Chains A and B, each alone.
Chain A
Amino acid sequence: MQAFTDNSMIYAALGGFHVGDMLMQLFFFIVLLLLVRKFAWGPVMNMMQKREEYVAGEIEAAEKSRADAEQASKEAMEQLKQTKQEAQSMIEEARNAGTRQQEEIIAAAKAEADRIKEAAQADIQNEKEKALQALQDKVASLSVLIASKVIEKEISTQDQEKLINDYIKEVGEDL
């Protein structure tokens, strides 16, 4: 009997088992579970999920843009190289053209000079021949004249010399 009383005292201190409490606990817990899932943890989980996706997306985008940038830089490098080559070839070409032109001009000038020189030489030759011809003609006629004069009259040596000089002078004037 004493033992029973002790037990029931402890029992009372604990509050004992009450079906009502248990049902209430179950009810409160389930309601709380549903409420916090709907109003608190659900949104938080969604946000965390969203952030995870966002971060993953950002990483992917960064990766992609990095690849793009690499590609672009490669392309630019390629283009630069090509342009350099083009410029090089253009300069080369221009240099070649200049040299060629220079040579052409020199050759043309040389040819012109040769032509002019030849023409001048031809002229000189011509004139020389003409002069010689004229001199020959004059000498012939003079000889004839001198002969005739000698024949016409005997003249002194002095006179003769004078005469020759006169004629030579005359010839010089004619020439």
Chain B
Amino acid sequence: MDHTAPIVHDVFGISWLDFNLSNVLMMFITSLIVFVLCVLGARKLQMKPRGAQNVMEWVLDFVKGIVNDAMDWRTGKLFLPLALTLFTYILVGNMLGVITNGVYGHDLWWKSPTADPGITLTLAAMVIILSHFYGIKLRGGKEYVKDYFRPLPFLFPIKVIEEFSNTLTLGLRLFGNLYAGEVLLSLLVGLTTSSVVGFLGGAIPFLAWQGFSVFIGGIQAFIFTMLSMVYISHKVSEEH
């Protein structure tokens, strides 16, 4: 756990522009994997689906179900690509960290991009900002502002706080789950590589925790997507 992150400070001489290169690398790899898998799955589309097309359609139906649960399909179809990308990106990102963590030198390079609070909070903030944007766009500014005083006017401060807490919980839930999983995995790796007894004692918990991490990765991707759609639907739906 004493690995450092490959951070580059003050890029282009701008004092606030820092990069964690490991994050950038993993974001790129995750995006690439999602893109390649999706494009491979969408090749040779047929009326009668076969092979990868079935998987693609299953995923699409699954995410469509998430969107449909949160809002009606008329507005929901607008957010289907967003939900799909969120789900696949987070799922793949989670899995990358479960498969392995890679250390080069003293720096931790290969990990889940979603095990970084900055990244998950960025995704969460993006979703919340989108919810405000579409809330205003689809229902008009007046309705949007009125929503802060419903159902009772004095709840206004709580409503404002809710927006920020939503962002924080949405992002940190994902980060916490993934980061904890990685911490425990790397602890178990340390245990299994320390001695023969450690290996015998740590191997089975390691396998179990890895399996559990896969489960958590899937669940968290699902939860993140679902909550994103719920928050968006709170803003864009007429009544709830």
Contact = CB atoms under 8 A, between A and B. Distances in A.
Interface of A: 12-22, 24-26, 28-29, 31-33, 35-37, 39-45, 47-48, 50-51, 54
Interface string B115-130: 0111101110010000
Interface stretch (B30-38, B155-163, B192-200, B206-214): B30-38
B42 A20 contact: no
B85 to A, nearest CB: 4
B38 A40 contact: yes
Given A13-B5, A24-B27, A45-B80, 11 more contacts: A12-B5, A14-B117, A20-B18, A21-B119, A29-B85, A32-B89, A36-B35, A37-B81, A39-B35, A44-B60, A45-B60
A17 B113 CA distance: 13
B23 A15 contact: yes
A144 to B, nearest CB: 135
Classify the secondary structure of A's interface with B: helix
B34 A32 contact: yes
B60 A39 contact: no
Interface string B33-70: 01100110110011101000100110010000000000
B126 A29 contact: yes
Contacts of A17: 117-118, 121
Given A35-B35, A44-B56, A13 B122 contact: no
A15 B24 CA distance: 12
A33 B23 contact: no
Contacts of B18: 16, 18-21
Contacts of A39: 35, 38-39, 42
Interface SS of B by simple majority: helix
Interface of B: 1, 3-5, 7-8, 11, 16-20, 22-24, 27-28, 31, 34-35, 38-39, 41-42, 45-47, 49, 53, 56-57, 60, 80-82, 84-85, 88-89, 113, 116-119, 121-123, 126, 179
B14 to A, nearest CB: 9
Contacts of A18: 7, 18-20, 23, 118
Nearest to A50: B47
A16 B118 contact: yes
B41 to A, nearest CB: 7
A21 B3 CA distance: 19
Contacts of B20: 15-16, 18, 20-21
A33 B31 CA distance: 9
A21 B1 contact: no
B28 A41 contact: no
A48 B59 CA distance: 13
Contacts of B89: 29, 32
A19 B39 contact: no
